[in-house]
Amino acid sequence: MARGELRPNPEYDSTGVGASVQCPLCGSTARRIPRRALDRVVNVLWDVRRFRCANAMCGWEGTLRMKPKHFPRRS
């Protein structure tokens, strides 16, 4: 990669874990978008991320709660 070249941020392409998220209204793929200020406040209590439906006819946009990340137990 050339110096100064921008790389796409995978966090905004998907959930960040490689799993696709479906729109709760139409079932199409939902794409991750930057969070709003209120989303950041809610994120203190729950892990939420903002998505927008890829289907232009649907137009859904909103936050979805992510499953908690589990850490391996220490022996």
Q: If we measure between CA atoms, which residue out of 19, 29, 24, 22 comes closest to residue 55? A: 29
Q: Please write the tens of the pLDDT for every residue from 25-52.
A: 998 999 989 888 888 888 888 888 899 9
Residue 5 lies in a domain: no
Which pLDDT tens digit goes with each residue over 45-57?
888 889 999 998 9
Residue 65 scores a pLDDT above 70: yes
- The number of folded domains in the chain is 1
Report yes or no on 19 lying in a domain.
yes
Q: Is residue 28 one of the residues assigned to a domain?
A: yes
7's CB contacts (< 8 A; 6+ apart) are 1
Domain of 47 in residue numbering reads as: 10-65
Do the domain assignments include residue 56? yes
1 assigned to some structural domain: no
Whether 29 is covered by a domain: the verdict is: yes
Q: Is residue 75 part of a domain?
A: no
Residue 55 falls inside a structural domain: yes
